[in-house]
Amino acid sequence: MTKPSSASDSAVQARLPHARNLGLLVGAQTLGGASAPIIISLGGIVGQQLASDPELATLPVSLYNLGLALSTIPAAMLMRLIGRSRAYMLGAVLAILSGLIAAYGIVIGSFLTFCVGTAMAGFYGACVQSYRFAATEAVEAPRRPKAISMVMIGGLAAAVIGPQVVIWTRDAWQAAPFAGSFLGQAGLALLALPLLMLLRPTPMAREVSGKGRSLLEIATTPRFIVAVVAGIVSYGLMAFIMTAAPMAMVGHDHSISDAALGIQWHVLAMFAPSFFTGMLITKFGKIQITALGLLIMAASGWLALQGVGLTEFWGSLVLLGVGWNFGFIGSTSMLTEVYRPEERMKVQALNDFLVFGTVAAASFSSGHLLHSSGWFSINSLMMPIIAVVLVMLGWLGWKERGAQAA
């Protein structure tokens, strides 16, 4: 019986930390990804109950998105200083506290306290969003889309867990409806802690010497600009519609359970394609799959304009989720080609700050627009924005094909 060569042995050993981390990240995504659906599906509804002004109803969701956006750069700095595992653990601890504070705000009827709780969850959200980048750190460039997709598959389980926590626990505290759901959010973060403690740095994840290019130099490259804009529009439009959808459904005489299930189907559609999105990107290209995602999002807006029945609401939310998956994974994969290893943290942080800053602005405005203009108007806004990004993607594809031909 021949012994494996030392080179083969080393290759296997190099892959082991990544394979182990990938499984842990999928589990952490499953638990961490469930927090956002709880906040988004209930934030506006609880806001309506607690806020004195109906236009402030979506403020808790908007503050969560704002907290996420403002946390992207500090979280990246912290990951660089103390490592991803410890930064992620801190995020989970803050998520436990945020769930407890939000539940307490509901119990005492304080809109301000509830908003503080949802805003605090933003740091955890920034950490969860960076799991997709952590998955690429020990993978060769051609395998990065599949690694990103694998981590985001954890969101598929989160799509079931989050809304079901809402349904199972919303009346657990009879005197304070929905407080139990935010206690459930805290419990999910507590379960994620042991997984995050087990993460270990992979060889490629260790700090690389040198500062690399300046952010300004990187941010002015065509691929960075188009990748970030595509990510902003994919995530921003999705959050814009998703934030307003539960309130729109309840406003059109559908039940809270219908609204929660609509979000569940939406989040399932966000992550279920991850089983094959990476393969599609490898086969057809990052630009092409990103463009397909935006076209599917346009189809979502068209269906929403056809009526206010459950078929239209749920169908448009499903299309919105599928379109987001292709658009966001495609644009993230485009971004990984922009930076060198020593530049990764600052470029990832800038990308997520821009994406989630826009998401926060979108969620701030969606409640006002829903209240002042209605469900149909906010869906109509999607079309011209998507058209502009499709033109940008087409231009980048044409430019890169020309460069390759030369």
Compute the average pLDDT of residues 35-47: 84
DSSP code per residue over 52-100? SSGGGTTHHHHHHHHHHHHHHHHHHHHHHHH-HHHHHHHHHHHHHHHHH
DSSP code per residue over 169-216? HTTSSTTSTTHHHHHHHHHHHHHHHHHHHT----GGGSPPSS--S-HH
% of the chain exceeding 90 in pLDDT:
39
Q: What kind and span of H or E run contains 105?
A: helix 84-108
The structural domains of the chain, with segments of one domain joined by +, span 18-205+212-405
Pick the CATH number of 18-205+212-405 from 1.10.10.10, 1.20.1250.20, 1.20.1260.10, 1.20.120.1200: 1.20.1250.20
**Residue 210 confidence class, pLDDT cut points 50, 70, 90:** low
Compute the average pLDDT of residues 20-48: 85
Q: Show contacts of 217-221: CB within 8 Å, 24+ apart.
A: 218/338, 218/339, 218/343, 218/347, 219/350, 221/338
Dist CA 43 CA 45 (whole Å): 6
Establish how many alpha carbons lie within 13 A of residue 160's alpha carbon, considering only the half-sphere containing its beta carbon.
6
**Residue 209 confidence class, pLDDT cut points 50, 70, 90:** low
Residue 16: how many other CB atoms lie within 10 Å:
12
Q: What kind and span of H or E run contains 140?
A: none
Judge if pTM exceeds 0.85.
no
Listed residue (74, 71, 80, 79) closest to 98, CA to CA: 71
Q: Is the pLDDT reported for residue 305 higher than 90?
A: yes
Dist CA 62 CA 19 (whole Å): 36
Q: Is the pLDDT reported for residue 11 higher than 50?
A: no
